[in-house]
Structure 1
Amino acid sequence: MDNTENTHDQDEHTKTAENPATAPTESPATDSGQSAPEDYRQALEEAHSRLEAAQKRIDAMALREIERQAAQRLDVPSDLFDLGKHQVADLLGEGGDVDTEKVTSALDALLKSRPNLAARPAGWGDVGGGPRSSTDDDTPNWKAALRGHQG
């Protein structure tokens, strides 16, 4: 390989780096033969659709977080939106995050106007009343005791 070719390539690269205005511009058109404006429009549409999908996921996560907080105090968490007439955007802070104080004040206002919407306390569970099933067949019971005296 000839050294003069390498020197020439380096000089050309140096000139382009020093003066970007004289640098050769590459056409943004793709191999598919589309023009540059169509490529930009298509890229913009793709970016817009990705942005919309991401915004939907963010909105769904914010809704789930608000309903999670509401579930601690409401029997039906969606009542905050259905009956309280709140929107997700009303309960977000300036940065777009769920504002716990706004959610708490909205829950307080809703429960003040409709106290019957409050979450019901959990029941006692099993307190030991009622019949029990037994796996032991030789457990004494009245039926077995009475049979023994009959015969």
Structure 2
Amino acid sequence: MSTDSVRLICKHSARSTMGRTTHAATASLVFPTGTAYPMSRMFFIQYEVRPLPEHESYAEIGGAFANCFVLAVSAGQAEELALRHLAEIHWEVVSVEDPALPTSRSDSSDAEWLEWYDEAARHGDCYVFHQWPNEPQEDDAVH
């Protein structure tokens, strides 16, 4: 039995389904009155992250790959929003595995990927954490 887990965080409401937890509040983009509203696009970013000591599961989680689906007007804004959210929930970015790239629903036929994409399309973002336990992983040190 694998000790790896997947944690899904979509910033809208608290619920737990099939071992995945979703919670937080809806994010929104704010523009000055009278300006044109730029068109948002979906961006996908993947980071390798590790929990900070303030993280609720710091002792149990060694790290994770964070798949970030973010609606934004640019790749730079998507990265900024994702990094801010990761810091708020006490994850430290170790590396950028996949930089912010525009993505669309037609980029995958995988049911889980489509679920995550749709969550982000409805709520502005969605974060999926593929976690591993706090023990050595293939020559890696633990925190």
Structure 1 length as normaliser, TM-score?
Answer: 0.23
Structure 2 length as normaliser, TM-score?
Answer: 0.24
Q: Which has the higher helix share?
A: 1
Larger relative contact order (C-alpha < 8 A, sep ≥ 6)? Answer: 2
Q: Which has the larger radius of gyration?
A: 1
